[in-house]
Amino acid sequence: RIEDCEVCGKNKAKYTCPKCEVRTCCLECVNIHKKELECDGIRDKTKFIPLKSFTDLDILSDYRFLEEAARTVDQLKRNPLKKYTCQISLPMHLNRLKIAAFKRNVTLQFMPQHFSRHKNNTTYFNWKTNELYWKIEWIFPQANCIKWVTKRLSLLIEEILYPTKSIKKKNDIEELSLKMCLNEKLQFYQAAGLSRIKVLLKAEKVLKSDLK
């Protein structure tokens, strides 16, 4: 067993790297060995160990590794977002949503499931009524680029153009105040009328679209 630090060679070794087994004496030497050897210091749980070198600690390590793998498999089985086949690369509810959009000549694409925009997207397909309810972020250039978010919109753009008409609870003071403020800022669009308004979608995955 090497007693001296393999990096500086000046001091007695105190630490052994779990991955490459380099002996070091201090944090500075540990960092130097990681940089020079491109070592992350994480023990390789699948590293081959000859039978003659096998110890009780190695048996315990393998046992814990198998337990961890079993827990991971069990968690994936319980995760509803992972319940899909090799033919369907999406969870069932998102696959139905994508098919419903495709039937309406819309190519629907999804962000990775751990992205915040994916988690916050409330767009869904009501298969009983065969309706798509979209979450849409509206930006109005002629109203100081004000942004308004509708969580579930089916058909009526009038609900956006005349926001006070869609208030269900007249006694909800906060909602009434917000929509009255929005209604005031949308007077330019209300005066133009639906026939003279163009709704533009942000170009996604289009080459140099940000320059157009």
Q: Is the pLDDT of residue 84 over 70?
A: no
70 domain-assigned: no
Whether residue 98 sits in one domain with residue 29: no
Whether residue 184 sits in one domain with residue 98: yes
Whether residue 96 sits in one domain with residue 37: no
Task: Using a pLDDT cut of 70, give the percent of the chain over it.
Answer: 81
Specify the pLDDT at position 171: 60
Specify the pLDDT at position 119: 82
73 domain-assigned: no
Whether residue 119 sits in one domain with residue 34: no
pLDDT digits 0-9 by tens, 162-199: 777 666 666 667 777 777 787 788 888 878 877 777 77
Dihedral sign for Cα atoms in the order 33, 35, 36, 37? positive
Q: Which of 1-15, 71-85, 96-110 has the lowest mean pLDDT?
A: 71-85
Specify the pLDDT at position 12: 92
Specify the pLDDT at position 83: 55
Location of structure tokens 């003659």? 52
Whether residue 184 sits in one domain with residue 96: yes
23 domain-assigned: yes
Q: Residue 16: phi, psi to the nearest 5?
A: -125, 125
4 domain-assigned: yes
Distance (Å, whole) CA 35 – CA 79: 38
> Number of structural domains, the chain?
2
Whether residue 110 sits in one domain with residue 40: no
165 domain-assigned: yes
144: left (phi over 0), alpha (psi -120 to 50) or beta: left
Q: Is the pLDDT of residue 155 over 60?
A: no
Residues of the domain holding 20: 1-44
Whether residue 163 sits in one domain with residue 97: yes
Whether residue 98 sits in one domain with residue 37: no
Please spell the DSSP secondary structure of 132-168, one letter per residue: EEEEEEEEEGGGTTEEEEEEEE-S-THHHHSGGGG-S
Which range has the top average pLDDT, 76-85, 94-103, 203-212? 94-103
Does residue 114 or residue 80 have the better pLDDT?
114
Specify the pLDDT at position 212: 56
22 domain-assigned: yes
Whether residue 123 sits in one domain with residue 29: no
207 domain-assigned: no
Whether residue 96 sits in one domain with residue 31: no
25 domain-assigned: yes
Whether residue 192 sits in one domain with residue 96: yes
Whether residue 107 sits in one domain with residue 191: yes
pTM comes to 0.42
